[in-house]
Structure 1
Amino acid sequence: MGSPNRLCSISLAAPFIFAVLLLNADLGSCGCFKRIFTFGDSITDAGNFAYTGRNNKNPGPPSVPPYGETYFHRPTGRAYDGRLIVDFYVRANVILFSSISFIACVMRYNISFIGLEKRIEPGRLVLGWVLLRRSKPPAIRACLHAQSLGLPLLPPSLPKENTGQFPAGANFALYGATALNPNFFKRYNFGVPFTWSLDDQLATFKKVLARIAPGDAATKSLLSESLIVFGEIGGNDYNFWFFAGHGGDTHTPEQYMPDVIARIGDGVQEVINLGAKTVLVPGNFPIGCVPAYLSGNKSNKSADYDQYHCLKRFNNFSQMHNQLLKQEVGKLKSLNADVKIIYADYYGAFMEFVKNPSRYGIDDPLVACCGGNGPYGTGHTCNQTARICPDPSRFASWDQVHMTEKAYSVIANGVLNGPYADTPLLDVC
C-alpha cells in the first residue's frame, strides 16, 4: 500500500457551507486498498441471489419493489431500501458541515489552504479551495469525517464469474447463505432452505483469483493489496433453526455454535493462506432487537426484555456467538503475526441507534418500515402490496429482518472511524 505521507487533494465549496466531495480517486490515492473482496449472506449480497433466480417467475424479495427505493430507485438484489454496510465502506458520501466548525478544526490541526482553483475533469467540475493534507491521517479525518475507502461499489461475483472483470474486487455474498455446509444440518434432522454456504463462496473466489491473478505469486501480490471483508456470516445458521424448525431439543444452536465459529475461522485462515494481509471479521447483530424475532417470540413477562425492549434471550445468544468469534480472531492473530485481522463489533454499532434513536433521526428502532400492521411492523412480506413507511430514513428496520440504509450507514461509520472495530478501518490506510 502507498505511503501515508502522500498528499491528497479535496475540494471545498464556499463561502458558508462546505461540501466535501470524497471521490474515488481521492481516498484511493491515500494508500488504502486496490481491491475489496467480500463474503457473507444477505447482509452483504449485492445481487448474487437475484442472479441465481433471474429466470424464475418469483426471483425473491430483493428483486422486486420497494427494495432499492432509497438510493438506487430500483431493485438491485440488495435486501434493503438502499446501500449495504460494505457499500459505505467503499464509496464516500457528500458531507456537509458548517464553515465555523471546519475552520476551527483546521486551525486546531494546522492544516493549510493553498490557492483557489477551478478545473474540469472527466465526470466532475471542481470549484473551490484546494486543501492539501499536511498532517497525519487521523487529523485530516477529524475535520473531514471521511467515510469511505475510495472504491466503486463492488459487483456481485456470479454474473461476471467467467469474465474476470473485477478491477476493484468482487462481492461473493449470497442471500440465505450459511457458514456451515447444508449437509451439517441434515445430520440433525434439520434442513435449511438454501443449498449454498461459505464453501461455495470460497470456491467461486478461487476461480475468480485464478482468472484475474493466475499463479501463486500473482495471487499473493493481488491479495496483499486487498481488503477481505469476511462476513457477517453465521447468522442464518441460527435463524433457520429458530424460524424454520429443527430436530427437537436433541441439538440446539448453542450446541453447534462452536462449529459455526470454527468454520468462520477456517475460512479466514484459508484466505490468509492464499495471500490476504488485511481481513475484517464482523460479529453478529443483537437479534433480540430485530422485529421478526420480537414478533415471533412475544412474551408477557417484562423480565424477558431489557431496558430497550429487546429480548434478552436472543441478545445473550448473539453476545455468546460474538465472544467466541473474538476468541477465534485472537487465535488467528497469534498464528498470523504479519496479517492485520480486525474484529468489527456490529452488535455494538447496531445498539447505537437502539439506545439513542433520536440522535440519528430514528423514530422507533424496533418497528419495520416495510411490512404489515402487526406487532413491530410485521404481518406481511415486504413487497409491492406491503405497508411501506413514507420515510425509511426514520426507521432502523427495513423488512422485519434487514436494516435500512440509514442504520447501515451508522454501523459502517462505527467500523470505519471507530469505536466499533478493534482497529478503525480507516486507520489501516
Structure 2
Amino acid sequence: MGSRRCSSAVVLAISVVALLNAAVALCGCSYKRIFAFGDSLVDTGNLLYSIGNSASPIKELPYGMTFFKHPNGRVTDGRVIVDFYAEALGLPLLPPSIPEEASGQFPNGANFAVAGAIALPPEYYKTNYNFTMNAPSNLDRQLASFKKVLARIAPGDGATRALLSESLVLMGEIGGNDYNFWFIDPRNPRETPEKYLPDVVTCIGATLQEVINLGARTIVVPGKFPIGCLPAYLSAHESKVTDDYDELHCLKWYNEFSQKHNLALRQEVVRLRSQNPGVKIVYADYYSAAMQFVQKPQAYGIADPLVACCGGNGPYHSGACNNKTKLWGSPDRFANWDGLHMTEKAYKIVADGVLDGPFADTPLRHLC
C-alpha cells in the first residue's frame, strides 16, 4: 500500500514537472533572442561603455543598488523593463551591443538602446528649429549597428531572416527624449514639439518597417509614459494656476501631449500591420500601466507617486541623483527613481502588464 502511494506520488511529481516545463516553454515561445532599441528606459550599459572615463552619476551608487548591488549602466536602482521580458522568456539579461559590436556573437540577442537617445537625427532639429539635441544616439545609428551585427552573425538574406523569425524585437520606448530635451527647459515654447511629433512617429514607423524588411516577425512597440506626472516635469513647470493640474496633481497639458504621441504611434502600428500581414506588432500601453501608480498608489505600496526616491530637497525631490544626494527611502516605496526614470519595482509592474495584460493589445505570453 505504502509503495503504491509512493509510486502515485512519483507519477504526480513527474506530471507536475512536465506541466511546469510546458508552461516555461509556452512562456518562452520560440523566441531565442531579443533585439532592443531605445533610450535610457531600455539601455543596459551602452552609454556607460561609450562615455569611457568621463564622469557620470550612473557610474556610481545608488544607481544599480537594488538588484545588481553595483552600477551597471541601467538608469535606475535595478532592472529595466527589457530585463523582465528576457526573464519571462527564459533568456539571460540582454547585453549592451556597443562593447561587443565588432566581435560578439550575441546568442541571446543584443541591446542597441543608448541612454539619452532620440528618434530623429540631431541634424533635423538643428535644420528645422535651430535647436541642438545633445543626444549620444538616434534610431538611424542604432539601426545601422543592428544591421552590422546581423551581417556578421547571420550573413546572407536567408540566414538573417531565419534568425529574426525566432527573435523578439523591442522598439523602444524611443522618442521620449525628442520631447524631453525641449520641454525640460521651461523657456522653450511648449507648442513646438507638437509640430515635429508627426515626424518622430514617422521615424519610428520607418525603422519598424526596415526591421520587418530584414525579417522580424514579432515586434513590441511601447508608447510614452505620462510625462505630466514625472517629478522632473512637475518641478520644471510648476504652476500657480490650479487648472494646469488634473485631480491627481499631474500636469494636464503634458499628459495630453503624451497621449497625442501615443495615439499617433498606435495609428502607425495599425498602418504597419495592414501592410505587413503575418507580422505580429504589439502595442505596449506604458501610459496606462504607469498611471496605475498615480491612481492607486496604496495598492502598490507607494507612499507618493509624484516624488522621486533619489534627488534634491524640493517638493518633488527632483534634481541630480548621485552618490552625494539623498535617498528618501527604500526604492520599493517609490514609483519614480530620479525624476525622469522609474524604479525597478515600477518597471516590473509595467512589464507584467505587458506580459500578461491588460497593457498590451496582445499580451506577450499569449503571442503563441
Normalising by structure 2, report the TM-score.
0.92
Structure 2 match to 1:407 = 346
Query: Residue 38 of structure 1 contacts residue 172 of structure 1 at CA under 8 Å; is this kept in 2?
Result: yes
Distance change in 2, residues 1:389/1:249 (3 Å):
closer
- 1:307-326 counterparts in 2 under 5 A? 307-326=247-266
Distance change in 2, residues 1:88/1:10 (3 Å):
farther
User: Hey, what's the Cα distance between the residues in 1 that align with 2:15 and 2:83?
Assistant: 23
Q: 1:31 aligns with which of 29, 32, 54?
A: 29
Structure 2 match to 1:396 = 335
Query: Residue 10 of structure 1 contacts residue 26 of structure 1 at CA under 8 Å; is this kept in 2?
Result: no
Structure 1 match to 2:135 = 194
Structure 1 residue 389, shift from structure 2 partner: 2.6
% identity of equivalent residues? 59
Q: 2:81 aligns with which of 81, 85, 88?
A: 85
Structure 2 match to 1:233 = 174
Greater than 6 Å deviation, 4+ residue runs: none
Distance change in 2, residues 1:250/1:372 (3 Å):
closer
Structure 2 match to 1:161 = 101
User: Hey, what's the Cα distance between the residues in 2 that align with 1:313 and 1:9?
Assistant: 55
Structure 2 match to 1:384 = 323
User: Hey, what's the Cα distance between the residues in 2 that align with 1:152 and 1:332?
Assistant: 30
* AA in 1 matched with 2:365: L
Structure 1 match to 2:4 = none
Greater per-residue helix proportion: 2
Structure 1 residue 11, shift from structure 2 partner: 5.7
How big is each residue's C-alpha offset from its partner over 1:376-406, in whole Å with a ceiling of 9 and x where there is no partner?
012x410010011331000001011100001
Normalising by structure 1, report the TM-score.
0.79
- 1:146-225 counterparts in 2 under 5 A? 148-187=88-127, 188-225=129-166
User: Hey, what's the Cα distance between the residues in 1 that align with 2:28 and 2:145?
Assistant: 30
Query: Residue 415 of structure 1 contacts residue 425 of structure 1 at CA under 8 Å; is this kept in 2?
Result: yes
Structure 2 match to 1:340 = 280
Structure 1 residue 297, shift from structure 2 partner: 0.6
Structure 1's unaligned 5+ residue stretches are 1-7, 13-19, 92-147
Structure 2 match to 1:52 = 50
How big is each residue's C-alpha offset from its partner over 1:138-180, in whole Å with a ceiling of 9 and x where there is no partner?
xxxxxxxxxx111110000001111223110000000110000
* AA in 1 matched with 2:244: D
Structure 1 residue 182, shift from structure 2 partner: 0.3
SS in 1 for 2:220: strand
User: Hey, what's the Cα distance between the residues in 2 that align with 1:405 and 1:399?
Assistant: 12
How big is each residue's C-alpha offset from its partner over 1:61-105, in whole Å with a ceiling of 9 and x where there is no partner?
2221110000000000000000001111111xxxxxxxxxxxxxx
User: Hey, what's the Cα distance between the residues in 2 that align with 1:312 and 1:196?
Assistant: 30
How big is each residue's C-alpha offset from its partner over 1:100-144, in whole Å with a ceiling of 9 and x where there is no partner?
xxxxxxxxxxxxxxxxxxxxxxxxxxxxxxxxxxxxxxxxxxxxx
Structure 2's unaligned 5+ residue stretches are 1-13
User: Hey, what's the Cα distance between the residues in 2 that align with 1:40 and 1:365?
Assistant: 24
Query: Residue 231 of structure 1 contacts residue 281 of structure 1 at CA under 8 Å; is this kept in 2?
Result: yes
Structure 2 match to 1:329 = 269
Distance change in 2, residues 1:251/1:398 (3 Å):
closer
Structure 1 match to 2:3 = none
Query: Residue 226 of structure 2 contacts residue 255 of structure 2 at CA under 8 Å; is this kept in 1?
Result: yes
SS in 2 for 1:177: coil
* AA in 1 matched with 2:81: I
